[in-house]
Structure 1
Amino acid sequence: MLFEGKVIEYVCDYLTKENFEILQKLSTTEQGDDIIALKSGVKLIIEAKGESSSNQNSSRYGKSFTYNQVKTHVGVALYKVSEILTREINNGNDVVVGISLPCNEYHKKCVKRISEVIKLLNIVVFWVNEDGSVDVEGDLI
Structure 2
Amino acid sequence: MTTPERRDPTQLLTEDEVSLAVRSHLEKDGWTITSWATAAGRKHGDDIVAERDDRQLIIEVKGETSSDPKSNRFGFAFDSTQVTSHVAMATFKALQVVSKGVQAGIALPDERLHRRTLGAIQPALSGLGISVFWVDRHVAVVV
Q: Same fold (TM over 0.5)?
A: yes
Write 1 or 2 for the structure with the bigger share of helix: 1
| Match among 4, 8, 13 for residue 15 of structure 2 | 4
CA distance in 2, matches of 1:27, 1:54: 9
1:85 is displaced (CA, Å) by 2.0
CA distance in 1, matches of 2:31, 2:92: 25
CA distance in 2, matches of 1:33, 1:58: 22
| Match among 109, 120, 123 for residue 127 of structure 2 | 120
Question: Partner of 2:69 in structure 1?
Answer: 56
Cα deviation per residue 1:79-132 (whole Å; 9 max; x = unaligned)? 11111222x33xxxxx21000000000000011111222122211000001111
Aligned-residue RMSD, C-alpha = 1.0
| Match among 51, 56, 70 for residue 83 of structure 2 | 70
Matched, 1:15 2:26: yes
| Match among 17, 40, 43 for residue 53 of structure 2 | 40
What TM-score, normalized by structure 1, do the two folds share?
0.88
**Runs ≥4 residues deviating over 4 A:** none
Unaligned 5+ runs, structure 1? 90-94, 137-141
CA distance in 1, matches of 2:110, 2:78: 13
Unaligned 5+ runs, structure 2? 1-11
CA distance in 2, matches of 1:57, 1:47: 23
Q: How many residues align?
A: 130
What TM-score, normalized by structure 2, do the two folds share?
0.87
The aligned amino acid for 2:16 is G
Question: Partner of 1:139 in structure 2?
Answer: none
Identity of aligned residues (%): 35
Question: Partner of 2:116 in structure 1?
Answer: 109
1:59 is displaced (CA, Å) by 1.3
Question: Partner of 2:8 in structure 1?
Answer: none
